[in-house]
Amino acid sequence: MPRSHIPMTPADSNVAMPPVAHARFTIGDVVRHRVFDFRGVIFDVDPIFANSEEWYEAIPEDIRPRKDQPFYHLLAENMESSYVAYVSQQNLIPDESDEPIDHPAIAGLFTDYADGRYTLRREHRH
């Protein structure tokens, strides 16, 4: 049976696609914030900003990141505490310390730590 063919009109051919930002990091990578003194392990990635406008507007305008880039969910730590952070790609760099992250939720999501990254538990893989 032949497939139906819908001709493309000139208007259809001029539809601009948004640029695709490529994630530099992946789940399990240990990263460090470029400006603030904390580090963490990535446990989720949003291809573009996916948090609330209230959260976004609370960032001072002079350091507010663009929304059209990947944002990462981190199990984070600093000298005082552990917490969950949401950070733009432009503000992350690889962590070169080769030290594991001290966060109580790590054991629930990850298994091994080796070569600066964690292995996601089998039950959490897609």
Output the domain CATH number for residue 29.
2.30.30.390
State residue 8's pLDDT score: 46
Residue 81 counted as domain residue: yes
63-103 residue pLDDT tens: 999 999 999 999 999 999 999 999 999 999 999 999 999 99
pTM over 0.75: yes
Three-state secondary structure along the chain?
A: CCCCCCCCCHHHHCCCCCCCCCCCCCCCEEEEECCCCCEEEEEEEECCCCCCHHHHHCCCHHHCCCCCCCEEEEEEECCCCEEEEEEEHHHEEECCCCCCCCCCCHHHHEEEEECCEEEECHHHCC
Range of lowest pLDDT (18-27, 53-62, 64-73): 18-27
How many independent structural domains does the chain possess? 1
Residue 14 counted as domain residue: no
Residue 9 counted as domain residue: no
Residue 17 counted as domain residue: no
Residue 2 counted as domain residue: no
Residue 8 counted as domain residue: no
Residue 89 counted as domain residue: yes
- Rounded CA separation 68/90 (Å): 11
Domain residue limits at 117: 22-124
